[in-house]
Amino acid sequence: MNEPLIRLEHLNTWFPNDKPILGKPSSWVKAVSDVSLDIIEGECLGLVGESGCGKSTLGRAILRLAPLYSGEIRFMGDDIGKLSGKRLKPYRSRMQMVFQDPKASLNPKMTIFKILSEALVLNSGVVKEDYLEQAVKLLHLVDLRPEHIYRFPHEFSGGQQQRICIARALATDPKFIVFDEATSALDVSVQAQVINLMKALQDKLNLTYLFISHDLSIMEHVCKRVAVMYAGEIIEVQDADALFASPRHPYTKALKNAVPIADPEFRNELGILKGEVPKLSDPPPGCHFHPRCDYSQDICKKENPLVSETGYNSWVRCHFHEQLWTKGELIDNKESS
């Protein structure tokens, strides 16, 4: 097994609800709460959860694009959480992000060559005279035609625009890329093509990915390991195969059952996620999932469960995971009452 490329230790990203002139804010939006997680070199780690659970903030926090309230971010062993300015700059170029909306990510007034050149400035291994040659290489890497290098973003389809965004991310010679819902806005067939490209690039360039999505079903095709996020916390991490075959946390099970399936009768039998996603400024006490959990008991309303290891780099946060997860799967909720 490879070493962790990224190690997060008790990471907290909180935003103040108010900004008093004197003293501390009265309350905080805890977008990322006490997250400890390794991202192994060369892996594609999935990060899944409903909208508003804090997963995009976590992706941005790792790249130091969101404020760090407390905790550690280690990249290749170096603690980058407290770095800023010139000392952070060399790390920034090794970590990139690809966003959901490629159209909004590309400056409509710039040609593709200009867009890629702007990113190549951050690559200390490339001199200005070689920008055109490098930009052509980048277009080849993402299967776009180099003769289109002087075109503008609007002259490309959505899928092609996302390929340009990926080329721009690669321009800085990164080791780690966060894909934040990067395929969510694309048609299904285009989505598959972009995912295949991502996988091919990962193998070719030995990249490490964090793949963020609200859609658990897509993780199965992309990720080796999946982390599940709820109300700012990571509540389960498992190998993707194990997680899809038999999730251990009641929320993951509900998330899996909420994946759209063709037969509505079967869907009703499985049940879907009930209730609202909690506010990050005021999550329920105890286990944040308890108001929506079919297995909730008194202790769940008072105490937030600790992490229980279930294997190498795998764990779950639930008071009753051992009692509930028997015979290789979560028991039916009626049996647990």
The residues that touch ligand SF4, with contacts defined as CB under 6 A, are 250, 287, 289-290, 293, 295-296, 300, 305, 318-320
Nearest CB to ligand SF4, comparing residues 106 and 318: 318
Phi, psi of 228 (to 5 degrees): -110, 130
CA distance 264 to 49: 23
**Nearest residue (CB) to ligand SF4, 90 versus 285:** 285
Other CB atoms within 10 A of residue 200 CB: 13
* Closest CB 230 distance from ligand SF4, rounded Å: 9
Residue 88's nearest CA partner among 78, 98, 99, 102 is 78
CA distance 147 to 112: 11
Least Cβ distance, residue 300 to ligand SF4 (angstroms): 3
Nearer to ligand SF4 by Cβ, of 36 and 336: the residue is 336
Q: Minimum distance from CB of 74 to ligand SF4 (Å)? A: 29
How far is residue 322's CA from residue 55's CA, in Å, rounded to a whole number? Answer: 27
* Nearest Cα residue to 69 out of 4, 7, 25: 25
Shortest gap between Cβ of 323 and ligand SF4 (angstroms)? 9
Q: Judged by CB, which is closer to ligand SF4: 205, or 270?
A: 270
Cα–Cα distances in angstroms (integers) from residue 328 to residues 40, 93, 228, 257, in the given order = 26, 43, 19, 17
When the beta carbons of 59 and 305 are compared against ligand SF4, the nearer one is 305
- Give the nearer residue to ligand SF4 in terms of CB position, either 131 or 320: 320
CB of 235 to ligand SF4, least distance (A): 7
Q: How far is the CB of 290 from ligand SF4 (least distance, A)?
A: 4
Strand pairing class (225-230; 208-213): unpaired
